[in-house]
Chain A
Amino acid sequence: MPEPLMRYLIWPLVKFLVAFLIVQVIVAAMNYIERRLLGLMQARLGPNRVGNEVFEKITPRSLHRFIPGGLLQIIADPIKFILKEDIVPSSSEKVAYFLGPMLPLIPAFLVFCLIPYGPPPTFVVTHVNVGLLLILALTSTGVYGIILGGWASNNKYSLMGGLRSAAQMVSYEVPFGLSIVGVLMLCGSFDLVRIINYQADHIWNLFPQLIAAFIFLVAMNAENNRTPFDLPEAESELVAGYHTEYSAMKFAFFMLAEYSSMIVNCCLMVSLFFGGWTLAINGYGLTTGVLRGWGLAGGILGAVIFISKVMLFMLMYIWFRATFPRFRFDQLMDLGWKWMIPLALANIAVTAVVVLLGLQFNFQGEVVLSIAGAAIIAFTLFLLLRPRAKVIHARRVSEA
């Protein structure tokens, strides 16, 4: 086998397939985890019995209580979707109707080539030095499938959902992109590997770019149409929004794309603001160099750290879903245009000025920004945790 072929084709392909499979398993599991966790947050149990009879047969009795119930829900749901009738409305635009669920899948899957899961070179599929730019370009094309599907269904609710999705995506792409600019100014690179190494050598970008991280968190929820921003598929207003007319596997494709892009955004969040696969501050701790020194074991450890961080943010999505009610549409637009974008621009200006002053007067700009960010976090924690007078509630009618 010629060396360039191995290096540029075979290895990246193998790595991509492995990463893709792991991510798809996470996507399938997220469906179950989300339902189970929502149940627990609402003081219910959630799906807890599908597949228990299988596990009870194949495992010894002493292990039964350690196996979470309802695990095979992960398998039952897709099989059911495959077996369901695939309805194509007779008045739909056929080609666009079929393209609708496929288009969001392509960028959502393609992006997994560009994300560094662990220390390079083994755990990076393709090392692109403008990786971040490429990821932003790819993820922003995901909305076309939603608009196309919503329009092609020839259903008013679908069309409304598609339009809302378009407006929302356009509005929140801007703060999404602007929030990254501060990080780029600090790290001086579009390369995700270099951004992560920078964070290991200094401090997580969360601290110097606290406001940017917050904007990114909100904008990524809006990008994925997740719950405080799930207007494109608002059940109480639009039946099911853009996928009202989609049944069976086509609907499952929409869900697959949504969860895949959720994982992509969590990966970006972790890489940009939470140090990626490293667990280090100021060059001490598990930096890339330390992990690479341990060989394959270090690489796997790095990947595990990365995936753990990503899963924490996936749980955050579910937490948001269980917590927040849905925005009204004008509130959504207000938040996007009147708050997020000015805030992101102000963040860029402050970061630029501090970094420039640091260069001019020979001090480290990011240290100043980190202290400011840490102060904001400390103040918020103080507000939340300070001792307060106990609120005495009015007695209930039944107690009176």
Chain B
Amino acid sequence: MGLIENRFDPNVLTTSVDKFFNWARKSSLWPMQFGLACCAIEMMAVLDPRHDMARFGAEVFRATPRQADLMIVSGTVTEKMAPIVRRLWDQMPDPKWVIAMGSCATCGGPYDTYAVTQGVDRLIPVDVYIPGCPPRPEALIWGLMELQKKIEKMHVIRKGGESYDFARAAVRDSIRPVHEGPALRAEQAKAQLKQAPISGIKRTPIEEKKPKAAAAPVATPAASDVPSASEPATTLSETPEADEIEN
């Protein structure tokens, strides 16, 4: 995709192509099969007959990050788990999206302690935050639909807009918070010593750009700490409409 990505002026052709690509991407969001805590139980419940996420074409949980499009961080991210979550995210191929499911993944939740990462957005860029402790399966489906709306607005081959790499690179190259655990700091120090690609993927370093839409309201408290989350985070403002969820 590097050849044509964000190279073209907007016109009928490029906007149609973008629309088609975005439609394909949003229609086939394969999540990664991993759960961290009690939210994972609700994530499993989202596949059951009552709330069937398969209806959106998103039931194919892939166990390997190489084949996944969507990471649902379902549960408390402890400092010990943080490097692993980060590595899994690094191993996923672009384009990839992240849903922070539940209070713990959003902002640390009730665990305001040294052992818990205060929000997974300190490690990886989050696209949709879902509040709740844990959120009901309907809320996760709402999060998926919000993510689909967000993907619809992406610029794939058009110039400008929230390009894909722009949002990612901002977090990738941002200064990591002091709060992070010793394992991450050791990894950081190692990375400074030796400029090795993370997990064997060749990535060209991308300059950090200032987020354009920084002025947009950020509802989740944890997201406001992170200046690099360029896309305004969405939160559950009202209960999802029943007719959208059912069937």
Contacts and interface: CB of A to CB of B under 8 A. Distances in A.
Contact of B55 (A48, A90, A240, A245): A48
B95 A44 contact: no
B127 to A, nearest CB: 17
Interface string B20-43: 110111011000010000000000
Interface residues of B, number: 35
Contacts of A184: none
A76 B26 CA distance: 9
A87 B201 contact: yes
B93 A84 contact: yes
Contacts of B54: 35, 39, 44-47
A237 to B, nearest CB: 10
Given A85-B1, A87-B201, A90-B202, A44 B66 contact: no
A359 B197 CA distance: 73
B21 A244 contact: no
A247 B55 contact: no
Nearest to B47: A44
A73 interface: yes
B67 interface: yes
Contacts of B55: 45-49, 70
Contact of A83 (B21, B59, B62): B21
B93 A85 contact: yes
Question: Chain A, interface size: which category?
Answer: 35 or more
B133 interface: no
Contacts of A247: 66-67, 93
Given A35-B54, A47-B57, A251-B67, A42 B93 contact: no
A51 B55 CA distance: 12
Nearest to A158: B64
A210 B24 CA distance: 46
A246 interface: yes
A80 B202 contact: no
Interface string A21-46: 00000000000000100010011111
Contacts of A83: 1, 21, 24-25, 95, 156
Contact of B57 (A73, A79, A89, A90): A73
A149 B77 CA distance: 34
B23 A43 contact: no
A72 interface: yes
B56 A49 contact: yes
Q: Which of B33, B62, B66, B156 has the most CB of A within 10 A?
A: B66
B225 interface: no
A378 to B, nearest CB: 37
A304 interface: no
B58 to A, nearest CB: 9
B56 A47 contact: yes
B201 A80 contact: no
A86 B93 contact: yes
Interface in A237-277: 239-240, 243-248, 251
B94 interface: yes
Contacts of A35: 54, 59-60
A221 to B, nearest CB: 21
B66 A235 contact: no
B205 interface: no
Interface string B177-211: 00000000000000000000100111000000000
Nearest to A157: B64
A50 interface: yes
A50 B28 CA distance: 9
B231 interface: no
A240 B47 CA distance: 20
A86 to B, nearest CB: 7
Given A47-B57, A73-B57, A85 B33 contact: no
B13 interface: no
A80 B67 contact: no
Given A47-B55, A77-B28, A79-B20, A87 B66 contact: yes
A91 interface: yes
A57 B45 CA distance: 33
A45 B40 CA distance: 22
A49 B58 CA distance: 11
A75 interface: yes
Given A44-B49, A47-B55, A240-B67, A79 B21 contact: yes
Contact of B63 (A48, A86, A239, A248): A239
30 contacts: A44-B49, A45-B52, A45-B55, A46-B54, A47-B55, A47-B56, A47-B57, A50-B56, A70-B55, A70-B57, A72-B27, A75-B24, A76-B23, A76-B27, A83-B95, A85-B1, A85-B93, A89-B200, A89-B201, A235-B33, A239-B63, A239-B64, A240-B62, A240-B63, A240-B66, A240-B67, A243-B64, A243-B67, A246-B67, A251-B67
Given A45-B54, A90-B201, 4 more contacts: A39-B54, A73-B27, A75-B24, A235-B63
Interface of B: 1, 20-21, 23-25, 27-28, 33, 47-49, 52, 54-57, 59-60, 62-64, 66-67, 69, 91, 93-95, 156, 197, 200-202, 247
